[in-house]
Amino acid sequence: MYEKIKETARFLKDIGIDKPEFGIVLGTGLGGIVKMIEIEKSIPYHDIPNFPVSTVTGHSGTLIYGELSGKKVVAMQGRFHYYEGWEMSEVTFPIRVMHMLGITKLMVSNACGGVNPDFKVGDIMIINDHINMMPEHPLRGENDERFGPRFVDMHEPYNRKMISLMKATAFDLKIEVKEGIYLALQGPTFETPAEYRMVKLMGADAVGMSTVPEVIVAKHMGMDCFGLSVITDLGIEGKIEEVSHEAVQVAAKSSEMTISRLVEAFIAKL
């Protein structure tokens, strides 16, 4: 795996991806942040050696390199989900590559269901912690010390300084943001009412099908992580309605401009 990652990073360096500082994983319907990037390179995943190629509609599958608010960034337009059938090593492969390119800060975004009764559809939530309920751990198996230690410290999964900076940014821009715990389930089914209740009882504020494997692998390599969720539907007693992938995309899209403004100002201050 190490050699494959090295080969992919070498390829990207050779085509001109030079000293990026910040990695971004764009979740469902949040691809709009790309419009804020002065793009220097846009590489379809299928042209990148060893890269998995994503299949879900709404995830286009392009690696973007460019400048966002004066910082060199690499953004994944389209991520790999465990429910698609990828191995955890494939889901997290691009994060390993980002690290090998020299990236030390990662921002992840996603669409998710809110179970906190204070939440409404369209809310933006800063992820301040997570609960990993995926059926497989991305660090299971032999540990490669070149990436990081066997037992990974998780006392600060989401970087506190970046959380404070985003809160200050939101305050300055007069944008309301929520904060909470993200719980990851494998999907691809959305939750039953009983499962939403379980998620809430477990102490989470939101539930989704991604993000946590990427953050765990980033923490393995000592990266600082920051995450934003858009609440696209509610798993709250009395407010549970039919959900579909399309409805999730529409709801995420409606918050896209707001998120883009937040991220642009946030990165400028980093």
Site for ligand HPA in 189-248 (CB under 6 A): 190-191, 207-209, 232-233, 235, 243, 248
Contacts of 156 (CB under 8 A, 6+ apart): none
Q: How far is residue 11's CA from residue 3's CA, in Å, rounded to a whole number?
A: 12
Site for ligand HPA in 155-174 (CB under 6 A): none
Residue 37 vs 204, nearer CB to ligand HPA: 204
Pairing of strands 124-132, 105-114: unpaired
Alpha helices per DSSP H over 202-244: 212-220
- Residue number of the CB closest to ligand HPA reads 113
Least Cβ distance, residue 203 to ligand HPA (angstroms): 16
Of 112, 132, 122, 50, nearest to 86 (Cα)? Answer: 50
Count of residues making up the chain: 270
Q: Does 27 bind ligand HPA (CB under 6 A)?
A: no
Least Cβ distance, residue 90 to ligand HPA (angstroms): 20
Q: How many CB atoms lie within 10 A of CB 144?
A: 14
Query: Among 51-59, 109-117, 131-139, 216-224, which window interacts with ligand HPA (CB under 6 A)?
Result: 109-117
Least Cβ distance, residue 85 to ligand HPA (angstroms): 17
User: Where along the sequence are the contacts to ligand HPA (CB under 6 A)?
Assistant: 111-113, 190-191, 207-209, 232-233, 235, 243, 248
